[in-house]
A and B are shown apart, each in its own frame.
Chain A
Amino acid sequence: MTCIKRLFSKGPRSKVAWLIGEALTSCRCFHAELVRSLSDDLNKVKYFFSLERRSGCIIKLTFFISQVRHESSALPVVHHSKYVCDLAPNHRFPMGKFPRVLQCLLRDQVITEKQVWVPEIASKDLLSCVHTEDYLDNFINGKISEQEQRRTGFPWSEGIVRRCRYETGGTVLAAEVALQRGLACSTAGGTHHAFPSYGSGFCLLNDLAVAAKYMMDNSPTKRKVLIVDLDVHQGDGTAFIFKEEPSVFTFSVHCGKNFPLRKQQSDLDISVEDGLEDKDYLSTVEAHLPWLLETFCPDLVLYDAGVDPHWEDELGRLRLTDQGLYQRDLFVLKTVVKRGVPIAAVIGGGYSRDIDRLALRHSIVHRAATQVWRECGM
């Protein structure tokens, strides 16, 4: 059923005016485009709603609101406190980075609390659009074998199940909000080594795949989704999942000698050499992204902004600097946004035992997104 966002009024001058047609009850979904008015009164906002009936007719409704929205009109950042769970003290996975990413963005006043969107836990139903019933049953109920657990790098726990589901929910929400607002970032996500029936390499559910499939299917005509995966490891799970799906294009730039050695086939794989630095790395991305956008014409881009190409990363073998990552993210986000294509970013992989440094590195994409948001007048 529809969920129409309630717009609350704030302040004494508020007045809400709704105009809703009878067609409301029969619509499957809607998306809202926010267009900021360029008038003097910055509080005046024009909304376009398009309601789509089953028959495919589109009814456009327009209404005005003359107050400040409850939700911030700045860059949406998706975060959930349950993105974390307890792990053994010396576990290599830097679980502590997720809350720290948000903390450093708030502390540095890059964003405010008002910009935070909180996802729901991904339902089994939602996850089943990518993962098999058996795997989900075993996963949720703790029936994953020792051997399978070993390959994922995580011992099974209820906590890990919950956090993965919230993370996936977060990526899906980021994609939805990106469609509404043009740009959104999660403070987690990028679990691209998960396959439909098993996990691998610290990935238990494939959030990007779930988001892409969900967004692709939940629209009257199949949405085209471009997944740009710049994590230093190949997005093998995602590549496998969408191998035969023409509406989802998987693009991965990764270091050839990194995990996984057994590679899948993305729609476009760029395997780079060890030690690649800022300039050459950026050229590589610049050489491919614009023409991909031109030829594939996606309706949505999902961006895995993994920071493991950084020279300090313990598992990656490239040599990007902080500046290099920033330039990369700026380029990707700006190029996509300028074409009017919505883009949702996830933080992707990063491995360092200095969690604070790592979190700061992951927050680069949010800073770049803030910059793009500002520059493009979003």
Chain B
Amino acid sequence: MEDAEFDDILDDWFIESLKTYKDLHVYQLEHPTQVLEWTSGKTVCVAGYSQSKNEILELRLPLKLLADENKSLCAERDFKVSHGGFTDGPVRCLIHIPGTRCAVTNDGLSSDLQVWDLGGEESDVIRRTGSIKGKKSAPERGSRIAARPSSAPQVLHGAQISDVQLTELASGESLYKLETDSADPLSSLQFVSDTVFLAGCCNGSVYVADTRTSAPPQLSHSPSSDKSVIWWTDGAARPHPSSCRVIRVSSSGQVVISDLRNLGGVGCQAQLDVQTPGRCSQVDVKVSWAPTLDDCVSVSGFSGVVQIYNTRLWGAEPQEARPLFEHRGHAVSSQQTDDSVPTFVTSHIWHPERPRTLLSAASDGSVHVWDWVDPDRQGGSPTP
């Protein structure tokens, strides 16, 4: 594509974005990241995933973005690197331990974890402080990690469902092990309360367990028997704390929502329009419930677009789902030549409090912070 044509497309999108976003900030990292993890309401961690040495950075969001009133009074609109360090290998998973300045990473190559001190006021260096051994599996694969929401720093981790364990950071002691024989590799691991966690397997089955008991976990079987398909999962205790919904997305675009209280049943389903040639195998699909918007989920990893869906519109029968909103920024702004690899969104996260603010990162090193306008409310029409 001619440079001028390409600029034109970007210009068109810029004008369009004035209407579709309340805020949009576009940044460029030197190296792309596959991880985005909040370390506070204003800071986020990113890290490179090249084969050898990589940077791990803690970035401070521009004040201008976060101010609600007096937005115009904040001069700073740049992402500032507040802390940084180096890793020896790629970073495929990064979790912040709440209430601490500690983070835990995994390189996607083995099940071992690296422990980091993110630095404080007196130092801007992110240092490696230790490691946690994971159970070896054959073949070797990377671990998923989850941090216990409260209490003393503990991480849940494992590369496959039978290897999931809870480790205390300070002592390295293993406090809990998931009792199951299955060797299904994991695609997600997360706590839905202080002791209850979900382990989502690549084959689509989801296990629910409680770290307080050694009783076997509950199992929700995979929605599909197709072995070629990979699944990703996210759970959220929404809209009510007592209920927990689990969403599963497959690499073929099938989506299933179930209620944790009724794991055998299917709440609702949908089919996402997943374009061929389809997703890049290097890039994980990320699916995430919105922290404050009921029934909203976001999906990325199939292309250079982040899609937001209103699941309230979905029914028991799978129908093609139309996104409520699409963030096309990464796709539009990446320059493509014929032989280049298309840009993929590598990760995205919702802001924990601001209802419509998200961060997204792509394979070209871009990081966007955006606050989208709900198109249903744009013209002042009543919310569904």
Contact = CB atoms under 8 A, between A and B. Distances in A.
Q: Do these two chains interact?
A: yes
Interface of A: 88-92, 150-153, 200-201, 259-263, 311-312, 314-315, 319, 352-354, 357
Contact of B18 (A89, A92, A200, A263): A92
A352 B72 CA distance: 7
Contacts of A201: 11, 15
B140 interface: no
Nearest to B22: A90
B174 to A, nearest CB: 51
Contacts of A91: 19
B380 A312 contact: no
A151 B12 contact: yes
A204 to B, nearest CB: 13
B30 interface: no
B68 to A, nearest CB: 11
Interface string B64-94: 0000000111010000000000000000000
Contacts of A152: 15
A357 B70 CA distance: 11
B4 A151 contact: no
Given A89-B380, A354-B72, A153 B15 contact: yes
Contact of A90 (B7, B16, B378): B378
A57 to B, nearest CB: 51
Nearest to B17: A92
Contact of B10 (A90, A153, A261): A261
B8 interface: yes
25 contacts: A91-B19, A92-B19, A150-B12, A150-B15, A151-B11, A151-B15, A153-B18, A200-B15, A201-B11, A201-B15, A259-B11, A260-B11, A261-B7, A261-B11, A262-B4, A262-B7, A262-B8, A263-B7, A311-B75, A312-B72, A312-B73, A315-B18, A353-B71, A353-B72, A357-B72
Given A260-B11, A312-B73, A357-B72, A90 B18 contact: no
A314 B64 CA distance: 10
A319 B11 contact: no
B263 interface: no
Interface residues of B, number: 19
Nearest to A259: B14
B52 to A, nearest CB: 32
Nearest to A147: B12
Q: Which of B18, B75, B380 has the most chain A CB within a 10 Å cutoff?
A: B18
B7 A260 contact: yes
B379 interface: yes
A314 B8 CA distance: 21
A48 B373 CA distance: 59
Contacts of A352: 72
A153 B19 CA distance: 8
B362 to A, nearest CB: 19
A354 B18 CA distance: 16
A260 B11 CA distance: 6
Contact of A319 (B12, B71, B75): B75
Contacts of A150: 12, 15-16
Nearest to B75: A311
Contacts of A200: 11, 15
Which 7 residue pairs across A and B have the least CB separation, nearest first? A262-B7, A261-B7, A312-B72, A92-B18, A153-B15, A260-B11, A262-B8
Contacts of B378: 88, 90
B255 to A, nearest CB: 31
Contacts of B8: 261-262
Contacts of A153: 15, 18-19
Nearest to B379: A88
Nearest to B74: A312
Contacts of A260: 7, 11
A360 B296 CA distance: 40
A263 B379 CA distance: 33
Interface in B317-335: none
Interface in B214-237: none
B150 to A, nearest CB: 38
Q: Which of A89, A262, A315, A352 has the most chain B CB within a 10 Å cutoff?
A: A262
Contact of A262 (B11, B71, B379, B380): B11
A333 B73 CA distance: 29
A357 B4 CA distance: 36
Contacts of B19: 91-92, 153
Contacts of A357: 72
B114 to A, nearest CB: 36
Contacts of B379: 88
Contacts of B72: 312, 314, 352-354, 357
A259 B18 CA distance: 12
Interface string B1-28: 0001001101110111011000000000
